[in-house]
Amino acid sequence: MVNKTLNYWGPSFEEDVININVGGLRRRLSSSALSKFPDTRLGRLLSCDSEESILQLCDDYDVSAREFYFDRNPGFFLYVLHFYQTGKLHVMEELCVFSFCQEIEYWGINEFFLDSCCSYRYHERKLESRHHNWDEESEVSSVDTSPDEISDINHDLLRYSTLRCGNVRKRLWLTMENPGYSIPSKLFSFVSISVVLVSIATMCIHSMPEYQDVDENGNVLDEPILHKLEYFCISWFTFEVSARLLLSPNPRKFFKHPLNLIDIVSVLPFYFTLLVDVTMGSDSELGNLGKVVQVFRLMRIFRVLKLARHSTGLRSLGATLKHSYREVGILLLYLAVGVSVFSGVAYTAEKEEDVGFDTIPACWWWGTVSMTTVGYGDVVPVTVAGKLAASGCILGGILVVALPITIIFNKFSHFYRKQKALEAAVRNSGKKDPEEVGSVSSHERDSEALSETSLGRSSPDRRGLTPGAHPSP
- Per the structure, the complete domain to which residue 225 belongs is given by 175-310
Spatial CA neighbour of 187 closest among 195, 277, 198? 195
Contacts of 330 (CB under 8 A, 6+ apart): 403, 404
pLDDT per position as a tens digit, 342-386? 988 988 888 888 888 888 888 898 888 888 888 888 888 889 988
Domain assignment of residue 442, yes or no? no
Does a structural domain hold residue 163? no
| Residues 327, 401 within the same domain | yes
Helix axes 224-247, 258-280, angle to 10 degrees: 130
Whether the Cβ atoms of residue 396 and residue 338 lie closer than 8 Å to each other: yes
Q: In whole angstroms, what is the distance from residue 220 CA to residue 68 CA?
A: 92
Q: How far is CA 447 from the centre of its chain?
A: 31
Q: Domain boundary residue among 310, 326, 352? A: 310
- Kindly state the greatest CA–CA separation across the chain: 116
pLDDT at residue 70 in the model:
92
The answer to the question of residue 147 being in a domain is: no
How many whole angstroms separate alpha carbon 65 and alpha carbon 46?
Answer: 15
Instruction: Please tell me the predicted confidence (pLDDT) of residue 111.
Output: 82
**Statement to judge: residues 94 and 211 lie in one domain:** no
Residue 67: strand, helix, or coil: strand
In a domain, 323, yes or no: yes
User: For the chain, how many structural domains are there in total?
Assistant: 3
- CA angle 260/420/180 to nearest 5° reads 70
CATH of the domain at 122: 3.30.710.10
Specify whether 125 is located in the same domain as 29.
yes
The CATH number covering residue 327 comes to: 1.10.287.70
DSSP 142-187: TT---HHHHHHHHHHHHGGGGSTTHHHHHHHHHHHH-TTS-HHHHH
Residue 265 bridge partners (DSSP)? none
What per-residue confidence (pLDDT) applies to 92? 84
What is d(CA 337, CA 340) in angstroms, rounded to the nearest whole number? 5
Query: How many angstroms separate the CA atoms of 435 and 443, rounded?
Result: 12
CA angle, 403 as apex, 397 and 404 as ends, to 5°? 115
Helices then strands, counting H and E runs in the chain, come out as 20, 6
Flag whether 157 is in a domain.
no
Rounded to whole angstroms, what are the CA distances from 27 to 19, 23, 67? 6, 11, 10
Sheet holding 67-70, edge to edge: 25-30, 17-22, 67-70, 60-62
Report the pLDDT value the prediction gives residue 430, as an integer from 0 to 100.
52
Q: Answer yes or no: pTM beyond 0.85.
A: no
Q: Is 341 part of any domain?
A: yes
What CATH number corresponds to the domain at position 261?
1.20.120.350
Q: How far is CA 440 from CA 64, 156, 157, 346, 444, in A?
A: 53, 15, 13, 70, 6
Pair (76, 62) in one structural domain: yes
Q: Is residue 255 domain-shared with residue 297, that is, in the same domain?
A: yes
| Cα–Cα distance, 355 to 320 (Å, whole number) | 41
Residues 416 and 299 reside in one and the same domain = no
Of the chain, the end-to-end C-alpha distance in Å amounts to 26
| Together in a domain, 126 and 186 | no
Element (H, E) at 202: helix 183-206
DSSP assignments along 337-375, one per residue: HHHHHHHHHHHHHHTTT-SS-SSHHHHHHHHHHHHTT--
The Cβ of residue 78 has, within 10 Å, a number of other Cβ atoms equal to 15
Domain boundary among 113, 138, 163: 138
Looking at the structure, tell me whether residues 182 and 123 fall in a common domain: no
- Considering the domain boundaries, does residue 449 fall inside one? no
Q: Are residues 291 and 376 in the same domain?
A: no
pLDDT of res. 22: 92
Distance CA 73, CA 78 (A): 9
Report the run of H or E that residue 103 belongs to, with start and end: helix 97-106
What is the amino acid identity at position 314? L
What gap in Å lies between CA 186 and CA 93, rounded to an integer?
Answer: 50
- Strand pairing category for 17-22 and 25-30: antiparallel
For residues 2 and 51, is the Cβ–Cβ distance under 8 A? yes
pLDDT at 431: 53
249 three-class SS: coil
pLDDT (0 to 100) of residue 150: 54
Residues in the chain, pLDDT under 70: 1-15, 129-154, 156, 215-220, 222, 281-302, 310, 422-423, 425-473
* 271 and 203 within one domain: yes
Does the residue 271 lie in any domain? yes
Q: Which secondary structure element, helix H or strand E, spans residue 17, and what is its range?
A: strand 17-22
Sign of CA dihedral 14, 15, 16, 21: positive
Res 299: pLDDT = 66
Beta bridge partners of 25: 22
Residues 323 and 278 in one domain: no
Say whether both 287 and 331 belong to one domain: no
What are 197-201's contacts with CB under 8 Å, separation 24+?
A: 198/229, 198/233, 199/229, 199/230, 199/233, 199/237, 199/300, 199/303, 200/301, 200/303, 200/304
Domain boundary residue, one of 138, 159, 185: 138
At 469 the pLDDT is: 40
| Single-letter code of the amino acid located at 342 | F
**pLDDT per residue as tens digits for the range 187-242:** 888 888 888 888 888 888 877 877 777 766 666 676 778 888 888 988 988 898 88
